[in-house]
Amino acid sequence: MILSRSKPATGQGQVAQSQQTQGRKQVPKVEDFLATRDYTGALTVLEFGAGKGNAETEMWIGYCAFHLGDYKKAMSVYEALSHNKNPPEGVPVNLACCYFYLGMYPEADRTLQKAVKSRLKTRLQFHLAHKLGDEKKLMEYHQELEDVIEDQLSLASIHYLRSHYQEAIDIYKRILLDNREYLALNVYVALCYYKLDYYDVSQEVLAVYLQQFPDSAIAINLKACNHFRLYNGKAAETEMKSLMDQSSSSFSFGHDLIRHNLVVFRGGEGALQVLPSLVDVIPEARLNLVIYYLKQEDVREAYQLIKDLEPAVPQEYILKGVVNAAMGQENGSREHVKIAQQYFQLVGSSASECDTIPGRQCMASCFFLLRQFEDVLLYLSSIKSYFFNDDSFNFNFAQAQAAKGNYKEAEETFLMIQNDRLKNDYVYISHLARCYIMNKKPQHAWELYLKMETSAESFSLLQLIANDSYKMGQFWHAAKAFDMLERLDPSPEHWEGKRGACVGVFQRIVAGQQNKELLTEAIQLLRNTANSQVEQIIRVMKRWAKDNRINI
């Protein structure tokens, strides 16, 4: 944001001129520093020069402090000037800019009422309307913007803040066509491509700026973020090393951003030490802390942190959806699940997100919660090439495949998962067991059961193995599962299941489809039950075995 300004006070120039006539070394003028954007040098001359204290000099001190990022100092200068009997014309709008950058939006809005009409005032009102959520005023000030570079850059920034990244890119590229020397616009374009998940394109555009300014904190940070998305956290941290070296010495700009991003690059390491203090400093800090809690399965903490957040950008809608879905599943709350479904649908069906990877993930999540798995597969299949080794993606994709009866593909996808936490989840175990049974591998399903400790989940898995194996005609494993169920819960249903499965084993042996040695084991399973029908069934089996000269 460009502050209004006038010519610098002439006192400093007079000093330099006087010294030059005496044959001494020339003292730099304020104009020299400003011409090279050396605001630190200009500020030094202004504060210790002969013009210190007059309104014109104070205006320039405020201007330099603002452009050095010291908004509080600039604010103090302009506030002091505003109390003068006849303050300079630019004071109200410059003071409003300081308030804006300090997040004091109501104060900025009130102060602007005293400012004379100018393009800077219009641009600031445009941004304030966005920050204050006033859509009517936003459109009103949009109409007042002109086809000049400052106004168009302001419009592009609002497009960016409203997640209209392609529209922002179009403006930046149009300006760059006529102003190739505006190299910093390449960083803005790269940032837009980053937000659109085009990380490789972002890198190419960013390289143009980094060739000229290899020590730029913003550019290095963005390059590291691209590496994080394209490769991994270690690659990203390597890119950040030069920035960390600067930060550890005299370089302080972006220190909080570096600390924040390092937590992300390191997979959440140090999250509780770093992120809480940055929640109100860096917008993403709250979101990443929520993600950390979710990964730690602390759903309630995640919910408490995000429940009052009014989502404004897709990432916030998505995360609120994820947290509500997790709360719904943990507490059996249909209300939370419904809210999650609505958030996912809102993002996935929006014009700006429908063709992005997160947008398609959202639609898949929405249909997943609605149990419309054919639609889930449609959306996930369109982006699976981007998530080949992503365990969370494969976990959801495999469940959808299994729900649609694509058990071969589901088994293959489940087996791609490496994460131990997911592999020990009952949802994973039970779905994989079902896939094994449907793919005629009941022994693999039985081995999954044997690895589990006795619990309510292992009992449920036994029921699944028993019933699914029975349905698929895999009677031996059904018989073993029903026998175990009967020992744990001697109910008539489990006996009837075991009886039918044992008879099924016998039938397959008679038909030559099962190993005859299993007949002895089937008889032993039957004898585990004290029921009058047992001996009758065993007599039939023994008679057939005797007739066919089989020792049992």
Query: What CA–CA distance (Å, rounded) separates 304 from 167?
Result: 35
User: Is 101 contained in some domain?
Assistant: no
Are 392 and 499 found together in one domain? no
pLDDT at 1: 52
Are 448 and 497 found together in one domain? no
Q: Per-residue pLDDT for 82 more than 50? A: yes
Which of 354, 385, 416 corresponds to the end of one domain?
Answer: 385
378 confidence band (pLDDT: 50, 70, 90):
very high
Are 182 and 206 found together in one domain? yes
Are 394 and 503 found together in one domain? no
Are 225 and 311 found together in one domain? no
Which of 385, 407, 442 corresponds to the end of one domain?
Answer: 385
User: Is 236 contained in some domain?
Assistant: yes
Are 483 and 381 found together in one domain? no
User: Is 278 contained in some domain?
Assistant: no
Strand, coil or helix: what is 304? Answer: helix
Long-range contacts formed by 202-211: CB under 8 A, 24+ apart: 202/226, 203/230, 208/183, 209/183, 209/184
Question: pLDDT tens-digit profile of 294-345?
Answer: 999 999 999 999 999 989 888 899 999 999 999 999 999 999 999 999 999 9
User: Is 17 contained in some domain?
Assistant: no
Are 171 and 255 found together in one domain? yes
Query: What CA–CA distance (Å, rounded) separates 488 from 467?
Result: 16
Are 379 and 392 found together in one domain? no
Radius of gyration of the chain (CA): 35
Q: Is 37 left (phi over 0), alpha (psi -120 to 50) or beta?
A: left
Are 154 and 253 found together in one domain? yes
User: Is 415 contained in some domain?
Assistant: yes
CATH code of 434's domain: 1.25.40
Strand, coil or helix: what is 25? Answer: coil
Which of 464, 490, 512 corresponds to the end of one domain?
Answer: 464
User: Is 155 contained in some domain?
Assistant: yes
Domain containing residue 494 = 473-551
Closest CA to 193 of 172, 174, 210: 172
Q: Per-residue pLDDT for 12 more than 50? A: no
| Burial category of 467 from C-beta neighbours within 10 Å (exposed 0-12, middle 13-18, buried 19 and up) | middle
Are 306 and 414 found together in one domain? no
Number of domains in the chain: 4
Question: pLDDT tens-digit profile of 184-212?
Answer: 999 999 999 998 889 999 999 999 999 99
Contact 69, 253 (CB under 8 A): yes
Question: pLDDT tens-digit profile of 460-490?
Answer: 999 999 999 999 999 999 999 999 999 999 9
Are 378 and 396 found together in one domain? no
pTM of the model: 0.70
